[in-house]
Structure 1
Amino acid sequence: MNVRRSATALAVIAVTLAGGGQASAASPSPSAALPAGLYGTGDPTYDGVWRQSLALLAQDTVGVKPAASAVDWLAGQQCASGAFAPFRADSGTACDAKTLVDTNSTGAAVQALAALGGQDAGVGKAVAWLKSVQNTDGGWGYAAGGASDANSTSVVVGALAAAGEEPGTVAKGGRSPYDLLLKLALPCDATGGGAFAYQPDKKGALAANDDATAAAVVGVLGKGFAGEAMKPTGTASACSDSDDPGQAARNGAAHLVQALAKDKHLTSALAGAKDQPDYGNTADAVVALATAGQGQRAADAWRWLEANAGPWAKGAGPAAYAQLILAAHAETADPRDFGGQDLVTLLNATGPAPESVPASVSPTPAAHDSAKDTDKDSGKDDGNGFGTLWTVGVFLVAGIGIGFLISGRNKRKQQP
């Protein structure tokens, strides 16, 4: 979901620069003109492909046909190897060893381009590259060859599924992505039982991570950023230890319900900083719960987002609007009536005018509406506002705050 550029991505780039390397094939200066087909006005160096992919996927999900220039820009970012970097200012120059391609940018681009259609060649090359850098534990890290993590593996699972692959059959060393995600699931009797860890710590221990859990619930069910609005089960999920991916997803959903119970939102903070509402990962949790058949238990979180996430999305830009649209889609809510705002129109306004826009979006009866009569413990919105902008190293992550790829990774930095 998610969408902020990953803290892991920024850390990788920071380390590269500190070592005298180059961040990418080209890093635009603040005054450089942005590509005409790109969504958003912020510096795209670290999130161009990511935010473009989320924007195009969200548009497609609600029936908007994006501008050809926007699709062409994204497709043109691909390297000859099939991989994508976060941003290439000069896509006419071939990628080389200094171009920092990654699994997250590549996986996001695949999900968008596969959904839009007409990009089979590029999608096929990207999937082939992703398969070539799969780790022997069945998962993927942010960078090729890096230690596998729940978030990156889930992004790639979504890409494989979007491309028509069966993720469970894509294996390396006899292990599939589901094997890696199950390995990161905490047993029910552990602290945070049922949740997923981002990665094991240096001693191999697992710590519950809400961001990773939201990502992994969707990933272990073989879905992508948009999730899937499943028929509500009618019963609350309960944790039960099992090697079954479906049960692992239900366990993760049960953890998310508990994590959202008090404040109706997830929180995140850097070490030493005060916890702040995490709008993007709360949206991810909505997608995860709906995909696990627990959309009715995401109702309070969705209403909290409607009441509080508008200023955040305005400051964060296209990826934030996209993630809220994807959450609305999973929750069968109307993205054109988000606390009185039309998310579709707001997203469209951040980039080139779409080729076509449907007159309206008509979702099925909203789970968050039907839940009003069944969820008796619904609390009032806490009224928290925009929250804190995050600084990672020397890079300012200026409000790009969405889901799968940051706050959990910031939390991960705090683990021993």
Structure 2
Amino acid sequence: MTNKNCSFSTWLKNLEKLDRKKIYNLIELKSIAKKLDLLNLTSFIFTVAGTNGKGTTCAMLERLLLNSGYQVGLYTSPHLVNFVERVRVNGLVLNESEHVCAFQNVESARNNISLTYFEFITLSALILFKKYALDILILEVGLGGRLDATNIIDSNISIITNIGIDHTSFLGADRNSIAREKSGIFRAHKISVIGETDIPDSVYEIAKEKKTILKTINTDWLWKKKDNYWDFIHSRVQLYNLPITRIPLSNAATALSALYYSNLKINEKVIRQSISKIQLSGRFQVVSTCPYVIIDVAHNPDAAFYLSKKIDEINVKGKIYAVVGILKDKDILGIINPLRKKVHYWFTAPLKTIRTASKNQLKNIFPIYNTSVLNSINEAYKKALILAEKEDAIIVFGSFITISEFLSSEKKI
């Protein structure tokens, strides 16, 4: 693919040329992983799948395990600003030279076998984790589960946060089909924690077929929100009066459930002291309060609905302006509809990717009477900032790429 002695930036440019969407079977990927001795890692492994909430669930697992004294590796995607965000060892990103070394190892091992972008970087992440001999690995699934590159690894605990409609051209057009793909991460005689309240039949079918041990919300564990605290009830523990988290409580509870089923030693005091401090960049992140400027990676209808509910909680006294960038293969109408009655004016723009919705596509879908279609997210944000007064709010959302462009802008707050 590239000269093995290339710089980090050159490696990334060449990796970007690899197919991001094509899905192969995992046989050849496993053969490369076996050659690299990556299939028998000694770490305890969590694999996290789901339509939404994977990142925050992983963040909760990582922080609680680190604060409990474990050596932890986290593999997550996509990144917001810099590729190195995708791999963390003990809460820290690694230097570029370590990534280059891992890329070189993958390139040497693959010979002429074709790899997608995600397959290549998953192998490189596993190489880095093996180097550090970590106690625990947390692997966030990139797309689906069954044919995702992370699924070459046998996890000790698998997690499905929720099941919504997204990536339909690859995972299927209905929740049952999508759930079947996500359930591909199940392993025989291992526990699988399900945070979804409306579980499709295919989850139970795959669990029976694979002989996995399902642990489901409201049956094996549950959580209840009170006024300013919440309770977590589990078959192995009962925690009352927990502090409210910055991340969705459903994801915090799913992470806690998986931790307790893992039998890893987690002190209750660590949980109580840690959970209210955990936050993930780009997940209802307040970057300004006068006016409110909130950024969120919401990029499908379920995530947009949750964003809408969170906006209600902050009780904006003035107007709400939205800055939106969306990919062309997404349910654009489904993403903007949950906020349609709240937003006074929309500023939308194409993103800096060939996958972006075009200006014409945006014009045809967004409301005609209160929308401006601009040339970039940066320009759209500047326009919103000019109009916004102190009691107003600007919500930036629609895609991970939207938030990446916002954060990379020289004019960010």
TM-score range, shorter chain: 0.3 to 0.5
TM-score under structure 1 normalisation?
Answer: 0.34
More strand by share: 2
Bigger radius of gyration among the two: 2
